[in-house]
Amino acid sequence: MIDPPNGDVERLPLLPPGLLSERQREVYDALTEGPRGERPPAFRLTDGAGRLQGPFNAMLYSPAVGMPLQELGAALRFRTAFTRREREIAILVVAAHWRSDFEWYAHEGIARRAGLTDGELAALRAGRAPLLADARERIVHEAARQLAAEHDLSDAVHAEAVATLGRTALVELVTLVGYYAALALQLRAFRVGVPDGEPAPEWGDDGGHPG
């Protein structure tokens, strides 16, 4: 495996807001003024100079791709059939599988606001199944884990997901896992780590790996 996956030198310079083209500015405004711009923020979407961080900076480099990509992300985060807990469980499964520092950093904060506990977060970060009392959360976790690790769903998990979540939600879940895997790949390829001053997650030896 190429090392380091989350290196110290980012390969895409952060773009200052004042130097953006008109189309880049449209993407920037959609990201910062849309639903992701909640106050107070759960994570640092921009740095002190207003430059987008994480996967969002990459979206500016190709507005033709970045705009529909951010629209898909907003739909998956804010307009699906899932509770906030269910959604963040699935996203953190992907982040842990890829050992994506920024993806975990951003969504750990969101997950805590959604009510995930320290124990649940520790299990997810280690690639283990947390102790979940809710049947929907359990199948969301297992389906997301299988999709991330095996790029497929077994007949048993598919049947349980349809029975528990419904087909609409399952389509949304498969799409969500694919979307956050794509962001994790971008973050890895462009060596995007956590923002300056933020601690990187501690990945255990038994954690996930991209594949």
**Cα–Cα distance, 114 to 109 (Å, whole number):** 9
**Angle 148-79-209 (CA atoms, 0-180°, nearest 5)?**
15
What domains are there in the chain, each with its CATH number?
Answer: 20-77 (no CATH), 83-189 (1.20.1290)
Walk along the chain (211 residues) in steps of 10 and give the mean pLDDT of each run. 61 96 98 80 91 97 98 96 98 98 96 97 98 98 99 99 98 99 97 93 69 56
pTM for the whole thing?
A: 0.93
Q: Which of 61, 93, 98 is nearest to 184 (CA)?
A: 98
92-122 burial, b if ≥16 CB within 10 A, otherwise e? bbbbbbbbbbbbbbbbbbbbeebebeeebbe
